[in-house]
């Protein structure tokens, strides 16, 4: 009876620390690799507010054999309550494996945040080492401010934003009083009427239909050769004078990577030598070269007359697209909403208002988009004069608002749940605020005192001392808010408040943001159509291979966009030669993200061919 009772209790009340017990059961395996890890690296401590670093040295000595047992009172103030209970009660016997595991788990968190860093490491360095050294900053300040386009009087930018907020307040109060699309309901909550679909003129609909009917039917493989003849992108990848055989191998390797087709299948379908195909894919489809080829296509698109009807290249957007994976992929994550019981990766892509995509990379699906939103904007090497960027809610944080502004750019995200967004009042100023959630406070003197630190961060990003994704991930990983994070978020709250008030007051701004994000969605549909091989699942396991695959898909997407744009221009010119009145304002409703006229599957032949058949059968292959 007692045994049955114990079994029932175990089933109805499973252990809450099951994952900790799982780790303890595998302690011997963890010890094998953690001992040399702790012994061989030069660990440094950046946070002295607890006793973790002393605990790290104790565990290093335990695992390397220098120490045989824990000291009578080992350091443990750093431990979370769950680990405290698992290791053992204070004053009682402690579990050495549990203690070591608690230190290793905490070390992972501290490395991510920068509280502990490794000397000479790039990824796991101290936060200050990512920025321009303090002793060099005075000499670089003036040149950095000039490159950032900041005013000669540094705090003038802050004062301009404060004056902007003061100007928004009475206008916002008037809009709420009028009770139109932007109003307060009976409970005092903000109501934003969704935008009605933009009305497409009948003439624009007829033009789009005629373009669709007149575009030539084309094989995807032939499309590459045509665009290459216009742009010369293959010379960027292969060298100045590639021969026809090299181009054929390059096109096949590019299609295989971008469409997720195994090289063995591509070799059989094209009658190309597999070894030659593999050699070209391995040596020429490299991440840096693919980025340069993409730049070549984006610049060509920028110079097309029809592309100018869609935008001036000043506005861009970014969004993630989820793809499932197969096999053991380190960066893959489970996200049941998108992958069911499997795992996947996110392809995060930056799109210009001319439909060209100037950057793309693979990221973990559980990482917030905001971490990577600035990377491709800062790394833009195209002719696009980018000034403004938009994302959906996942691409926004207060910190990102601040960084965009300091870099001389405008950030205009499409925010969800505007009624719940906290707006900020200006500390020390007696102003009348509208009946919105002005529940935060902005402290201008705090930001004014530390303005030089903000400039140093912006200059470090602009001059390439650190990537924005690495800096943002470090700042967001701190278990306690770093002063720099506090400073950037404080400034970002002011900028977010100004943006939300500007967004609510301007329906054209809301439409422009919505239209740009829709362009990205159209291109997502094109990318999904191109990604048809391998059951739609990525099988590249190494990070470098994944990034190359993403770049290949991005390059192929741009190839289709450029081809469509060029031929759409020809259709418009032909219609005008035939006497059709094509209005310039109708051109902006056209989209080059179309693909129904493209054959991606190649051609099959079903004509009987009995050449080489013996008694109605093909000869068998040799077993060698």
Q: What's residue 24's pLDDT?
A: 82
Reply yes or no on whether the pLDDT at 177 is more than 50: yes
Average pLDDT (528-545) is: 90
**First CA to last CA distance, the chain:** 67
Q: What's residue 186's pLDDT?
A: 85
Q: How far is CA 543 from the centre of its chain?
A: 15
Q: What's residue 18's pLDDT?
A: 60
Percent of the chain, pLDDT > 70?
95
Q: What's residue 152's pLDDT?
A: 59
Q: What's residue 540's pLDDT?
A: 87
Reply yes or no on whether the pLDDT at 157 is more than 60: yes
Which stretch of 356-365, 466-475, 497-506 has the lowest confidence by average pLDDT? 466-475
Chain mean pLDDT for the chain: 90
354: nearest Cα among 381, 322, 394, 385: 385
Please answer whether residues 240 and 615 qualify as being in contact, where contact means their C-beta atoms are separated by less than 8 angstroms.
no
Tokens linked to 424: 């900020």
Distance CA 114, CA 483 (A): 13
Find the radius of gyration of the CA atoms of the chain. 29
Average pLDDT (409-438) is: 90
Q: What's residue 93's pLDDT?
A: 77
Q: Which residue has the higher pLDDT, 69 or 561?
A: 561
User: In a 3-state reduction of DSSP, which class is residue 412?
Assistant: coil
Average pLDDT (184-202) is: 89
Distance CA 553, CA 370 (A): 22
The torsion angles phi and psi of 253, rounded to 5 degrees, stand at -65, -40
Q: What's residue 258's pLDDT?
A: 96
Q: What's residue 479's pLDDT?
A: 58
Percent of the chain, pLDDT > 90?
58
Highest mean pLDDT among 118-122, 134-138, 332-336, 388-392: 388-392
Reply yes or no on whether the pLDDT at 344 is more than 50: yes
For 275-324, the pLDDT digits (tens) are 999 999 999 999 999 999 999 999 999 999 999 999 999 999 999 999 99
**Burial class (CB within 10 angstroms; exposed 0-12, middle 13-18, buried 19+) of 328:** exposed
Tokens linked to 606: 């079903």
Distance CA 44, CA 287 (A): 33
Distance CA 550, CA 552 (A): 5
For 439-450, the pLDDT digits (tens) are 889 999 999 999
Please answer whether residues 258 and 345 qualify as being in contact, where contact means their C-beta atoms are separated by less than 8 angstroms.
no
Q: How confident is the model at residue 14 (pLDDT cuts 50, 70, 90)?
A: very low
Reply yes or no on whether the pLDDT at 6 is more than 80: no
Q: Where are the alpha helices (DSSP H) in 450-542?
A: 451-462, 468-477, 483-505, 507-530
Q: Where are the alpha helices (DSSP H) in 355-430?
A: 375-378, 398-406
Average pLDDT (232-258) is: 94
């Amino acid at each position: 009876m007692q045994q049955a009772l114990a079994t029932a209790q175990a089933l109805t009340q499973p252990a809450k620390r099951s994952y900790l017990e799982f780790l303890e059961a595998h302690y011997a395996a963890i010890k094998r690799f953690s001992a040399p890890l702790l012994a061989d690296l030069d660990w440094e401590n950046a946070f002295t507010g607890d006793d973790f670093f002393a605990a790290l040295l104790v565990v290093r000595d335990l695992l390397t054999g220098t120490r045989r047992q824990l000291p009578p009172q080992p350091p443990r103030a750093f431990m979370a309550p769950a680990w405290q209970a698992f290791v053992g009660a204070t004053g009682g016997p402690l579990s050495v494996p549990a203690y070591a595991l608690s230190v290793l788990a905490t070390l992972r968190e501290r490395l991510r945040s920068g509280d502990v860093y490794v000397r000479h490491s790039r990824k796991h360095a101290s936060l200050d080492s990512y920025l321009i050294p303090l002793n060099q900053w005075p000499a670089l300040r003036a040149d950095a401010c000039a490159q950032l386009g900041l005013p000669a009087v540094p705090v003038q930018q802050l004062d301009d934003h404060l004056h902007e907020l003061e100007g928004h307040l009475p206008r916002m109060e008037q809009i709420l009083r009028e009770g139109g699309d932007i109003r307060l309901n009976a409970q005092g909550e903000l109501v934003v009427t969704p935008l009605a679909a933009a009305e497409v003129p009948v003439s624009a609909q007829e033009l789009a239909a005629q373009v669709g009917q007149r575009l030539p039917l084309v094989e995807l493989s032939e499309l590459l050769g045509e665009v290459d003849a216009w742009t010369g992108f293959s010379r960027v990848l292969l060298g100045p004078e590639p021969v026809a055989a090299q181009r054929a191998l390059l096109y096949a390797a590019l299609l295989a990577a971008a469409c997720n087709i195994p090289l063995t299948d591509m070799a059989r379908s094209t009658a190309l030598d597999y070894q030659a195909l593999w050699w070209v894919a391995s040596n020429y489809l490299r991440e840096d070269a693919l980025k340069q080829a993409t730049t070549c296509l984006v610049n060509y698109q920028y110079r097309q007359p029809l592309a100018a009807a869609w935008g001036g290249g000043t506005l861009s957007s970014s969004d993630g697209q989820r793809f499932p994976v197969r096999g053991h992929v380190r960066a893959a994550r489970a996200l049941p909403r998108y992958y069911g019981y499997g795992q996947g990766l996110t392809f995060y892509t930056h799109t210009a208002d001319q439909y060209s995509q100037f950057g793309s990379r693979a990221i973990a699906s559980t990482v917030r988009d905001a971490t990577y939103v600035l990377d491709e904007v800062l790394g833009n090497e195209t002719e696009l004069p980018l000034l403004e960027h938009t994302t959906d809610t996942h691409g926004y944080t207060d910190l990102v608002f601040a960084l965009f502004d300091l870099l001389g750019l405008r950030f205009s995200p499409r925010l969800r749940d505007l009624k719940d967004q906290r707006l900020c009042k200006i500390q020390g100023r007696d102003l009348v605020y509208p009946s919105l959630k002005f529940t935060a406070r902005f402290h201008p003197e705090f930001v004014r005192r530390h303005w030089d630190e903000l400039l140093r961060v912006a200059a470090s990003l602009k001059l390439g001392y650190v990537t924005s994704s690495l800096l943002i991930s470090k700042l967001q990983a701190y278990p306690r808010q770093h002063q720099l994070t506090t400073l950037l978020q404080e400034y970002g709250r002011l900028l977010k408040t100004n943006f939300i008030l500007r967004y609510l007051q301007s329906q054209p701004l809301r439409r422009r943001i919505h239209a740009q994000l829709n362009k990205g969605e159209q291109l997502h549909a094109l990318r999904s159509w191109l990604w048809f091989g391998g059951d739609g699942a990525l099988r590249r396991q190494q990070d470098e291979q994944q990034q190359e695959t993403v770049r290949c898909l991005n390059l192929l997407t741009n190839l289709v966009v450029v081809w469509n744009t060029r031929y759409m221009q020809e259709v418009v010119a032909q219609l005008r030669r035939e006497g059709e009145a094509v209005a310039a304002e109708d051109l902006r409703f056209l989209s080059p993200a179309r693909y129904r006229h493209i054959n991606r599957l190649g051609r099959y032949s079903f004509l009987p061919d009995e050449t080489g058949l013996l008694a109605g059968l093909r000869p068998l292959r040799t077993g060698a």
